[in-house]
Amino acid sequence: MDPHRRRFLFAAGAAVTAATLPFSTRGADKLKIGIIGSGHVGSAIGASWVRAGHEVMFSSRHLEQDKSLAADIGAGASAGTPREAAAFGDVLMVSVPYSALPAVGKDLADLIKGKVVIDTCNPFPGRDGDIANWAREKGAGLASAELLPGARLVRAFNAIGAASMGAAYKEPGRVGMPIAGDDAEALDVASQLIREVGYEPVVIGGLAMGKYLVPGTALGGEHSADEIRKIAAGLEQGSEGG
């Protein structure tokens, strides 16, 4: 495994205090979490969740790399195929290039239905092509919901650069995390998991507001929770005025 990536993962993985989650299909306060896409975001966030006491299965197109990642993180981390991770997880996080999202939705349709799914995927036209233009026009939250039918979708970890995600635990709650979703219980689950990484979650609205959870919008970059609330209120007023 690349040494730089290893350092990045362990910087991401300092211990954080776990709180009782409002939801678990196993009736306990710890969850099984399946990560679909174990790049910078998936590996950093997944490592933090392991150290918060959850069980995490990492998956991508590179199983051997995921096995090495899980071995470096240690107890509580495992690796599998995307289908294995989707079956394993009480909660799933999808963190793949946007152009791969249709295949994820198709290949894992039977496994994501009814599950809380955290969508970190951002549509970049230069990387993802036409589907990114469609998603930006439709709004990334609504587009992802269409591509992942049946999932209890929460859009999160989209507006902040991946490089800083592993350091949030150092100052818990200093940086807010804007999130969007239409399912109240799914938002509660995602909010607790986000707090365990070190961010303060701020629900900015339903999935229609997910169009603002991409880099380059007013919500892009790091803001405090109060700043996010003020920015989001202005976006909502602007939408109503339009």
Provide the CATH number for the domain around residue 27. 3.40.50.720
CA–CA separation, 122 and 136 (whole Å): 9
Mean pLDDT of the chain: 87
Give residue 226's domain range.
Answer: 3-241
Gap between the terminal Cα atoms of the chain: 50
Nearest C-alpha neighbor of 53 from the set 69, 74, 83: 74
Total domain count, the chain: 1
Q: Worst-scoring range by mean pLDDT, 44-58, 64-78, 116-130, 152-166?
A: 152-166
Angle made by CA atoms 215, 216, 219, in degrees to the nearest 5: 75
111-144: per-residue pLDDT in tens?
A: 999 999 999 999 999 999 999 999 999 999 999 9
DSSP letter at 171 equals S
CA–CA separation, 228 and 238 (whole Å): 15
